[in-house]
Amino acid sequence: MVSRIIPVDPFDLVVFGGTGDLARRKILPALFRRFCAGQMERGTRIIGAARTEMDDVAYRAFIAEALIEFNEGKGGCEPGKIKEFQKILSYVTLDARGELGWSELSEKMHPGRVRAFYFSVGPSLFGDLALRLHQYGMADSDTRIVVEKPFGRDLETARALNKSLADHFDESQIYRIDHYLGKETVQNLMAIRFGNMLFEPLWNSQYVDHIQITVAETVGVGGRGDYYDRSGAMRDMVQNHLMQLLCLIAMEPPSHFDPDAVRDEKLKVIRALGEVDPKDIVRGQYLADDEKPGYLEHVENPRSLTESFIALKLDVVNWRWSGTPFYLRTGKRLKSRTSEIAVVFKETPHNIFDDDNDRHRNILTIRLQPNEGIDLDVTIKEPGPGGMRLVDVPLDMTFSEALGPEGEDIPDAYERLIMDVVRGNQTLFMRGDEVEAAWAWTDPLIAAWEKGATKPIPYDSGSSGPEEALALMHRDGRKWRDLRI
């Protein structure tokens, strides 16, 4: 009931970086689940490629271990399925920066079928991979390439990456992945907005007081300290994931649900972002607690000025949204792992009821995690005698409950996105100009705090972030939603 399984024609998928963390934790388990779901026709092949010397047998064993560790019992995969899946796996020892392995890889390719190359390697190798795919005759019109974040660290590097791909591939062949866009709820956001009459008339500054987007994590920077310290929450989360969520909330209805129509509208949102007042940005760094080190110890850089938390207020300056602020916050080592978008409607203009509360407001909450689903807070009468006392209660649509027993198996974002690549559907992938526009907006903000050498504010691990982030909302007479545990 949740998803009709439509098998796709046999395809070849090459995972560059097939021995890496992302391949083991996300890409191969996602492919395995699609395999178990019956979506891959006989003849489909998945080829891992990296420098580590390995043969097919060793690679199959290596991936089987990863599947046992990371499949999380999802997707109805019985134990015997791993053996079947192993048959479609093979491996090529290959160096992106040299000639090793490329002839072998090109000989393996079947002509005339869809072939996808997943660049699950650092961005410094994107240009090399694109060039060699071209040189070894694998960059024809049946080819698609998938690239991971980070897509640059500023406008200049993003442009250079775009160019290194565009030298050999058409934009219609490039799939820039943002796994947030593959989440069921995020797509449901579009279904809710554009498939119902109910919300769209209210979706503007006349009825919406403000919008909050929160992506809170309980983990710290862990083993990624070195990368993270050169990046920070703005580059790592806001420029891509939060920006994409903002676009889907704020965009105009596209004329069709087709990739370029949707991405044109998202781009207009990014281009409509107003200047941000520095006082509307709060940056923080988490402190140590009894058990775990703080940010500075984690990244082994006592003088680091990089933020592990950011909250900011911004405006989308157009007819629909002028006067409705958007508040974004994201951070590490916070109180709970919560990702949600809350559309907070204005209060009723006048309260006819003689209850204690002043006036009432509706809140539409789109939960990405935990418990993907959507809530609409509505005001009702409290049951029982004793007059008209009003309470706000959520109308809850948790997908796993609403969609029946199968609903518990909502496909993971990577499952959906990889199959979209195979089908050639770019709607949920970022276009090059979107990425550049997002960097063009982000760059001056980062440059301003880097120029001023502004130090992030320390905050307690397990808290909701620095007090100043709360004050950012209080100044406007508003408050952040609780990070529910």
Residues assigned a catalytic role: 241
Q: Where would I find the beta strands (DSSP E) of 435-476?
A: 457-459
Calculate the alpha carbon distances from 272 to 235, 314, 425 in Å. Answer: 20, 11, 26
Calculate the alpha carbon distances from 372 to 186, 400, 403, 410, 412 in Å. Answer: 9, 8, 12, 9, 11
CA pair distance 31, 13, nearest whole angstrom: 10
Q: Which part of the chain contacts ligand NAP (CB under 6 A), choosing from 3-11, 47-55, 299-307, 472-480?
A: 47-55
Q: Measured from the CB of residue 183, what is the shortest distance to ligand NAP in angstroms?
A: 14
201: exposed, middle or buried (C-beta count within 10 Å: 0-12, 13-18, 19+)? exposed
Among residues 106, 437, 419, the alpha carbon closest in space to that of 267 is found at 437
Q: What are phi and psi of 411, to 5 degrees?
A: -60, 140
Q: Measured from the CB of residue 393, what is the shortest distance to ligand NAP in angstroms?
A: 38
Among 7, 122, 137, 444, binds ligand NAP (CB under 6 A): 122
Determine if 361 is a binding residue for ligand NAP (CB under 6 A): no
Q: Measured from the CB of residue 127, what is the shortest distance to ligand NAP in angstroms?
A: 12
The residue among 325 and 331 lying less far from ligand NAP, judged by its C-beta, is 331
Among 40, 46, 89, 121, binds ligand NAP (CB under 6 A): 121
Q: Which residue type sits at 202?
A: L
Strand partners, 236: none
Q: Measured from the CB of residue 259, what is the shortest distance to ligand NAP in angstroms?
A: 22
The residue among 227 and 257 lying less far from ligand NAP, judged by its C-beta, is 227
Among residues 250, 162, 177, 155, the alpha carbon closest in space to that of 441 is found at 155
Determine if 120 is a binding residue for ligand NAP (CB under 6 A): yes
Find all residues with CB under 8 Å of 98, minimum gap 6, and list them: none
The residue among 195 and 222 lying less far from ligand NAP, judged by its C-beta, is 222
Strand partners, 15: 48, 118
Q: 415 with 423: CB under 8 angstroms?
A: no
Q: Measured from the CB of residue 414, what is the shortest distance to ligand NAP in angstroms?
A: 10
DSSP letters for 234-247: IIIIIIIIIHHHHH
Determine if 20 is a binding residue for ligand NAP (CB under 6 A): yes
Calculate the alpha carbon distances from 370 to 77, 101, 337 in Å. Answer: 23, 42, 7
* First-last CA distance in the chain: 31
Site string for ligand NAP, 261-300 (x = CB under 6 A): ----------------------------------------
Determine if 236 is a binding residue for ligand NAP (CB under 6 A): no
CA pair distance 228, 242, nearest whole angstrom: 17
Q: Measured from the CB of residue 95, what is the shortest distance to ligand NAP in angstroms?
A: 5
The residue among 269 and 368 lying less far from ligand NAP, judged by its C-beta, is 368
Determine if 148 is a binding residue for ligand NAP (CB under 6 A): yes
Site string for ligand NAP, 185-224 (x = CB under 6 A): ----------------------------------------
The residue among 64 and 276 lying less far from ligand NAP, judged by its C-beta, is 64
Among 12, 13, 14, 17, binds ligand NAP (CB under 6 A): 17
Among 22, 64, 202, 457, binds ligand NAP (CB under 6 A): 22
Q: Compute and round to an integer the Cα radius of gyration of the chain.
A: 24
Determine if 55 is a binding residue for ligand NAP (CB under 6 A): no
The structure tokens listed for 478 are: 């508003």
Determine if 184 is a binding residue for ligand NAP (CB under 6 A): no
Q: What are phi and psi of 240, to 5 degrees?
A: -115, -75
Residue nearest to ligand NAP (CB): 20
Q: Which part of the chain contacts ligand NAP (CB under 6 A), choosing from 35-43, 146-154, 250-258, 338-346?
A: 146-154
The structure tokens listed for 245 are: 């969520």
Q: Are strands 338-345 and 363-369 parallel, antiparallel or unpaired?
A: antiparallel
Determine if 470 is a binding residue for ligand NAP (CB under 6 A): no
Among 2, 8, 51, 397, binds ligand NAP (CB under 6 A): 51
Residues that bind ligand NAP (CB under 6 A): 16-23, 50-52, 94-97, 120-123, 125, 148-150
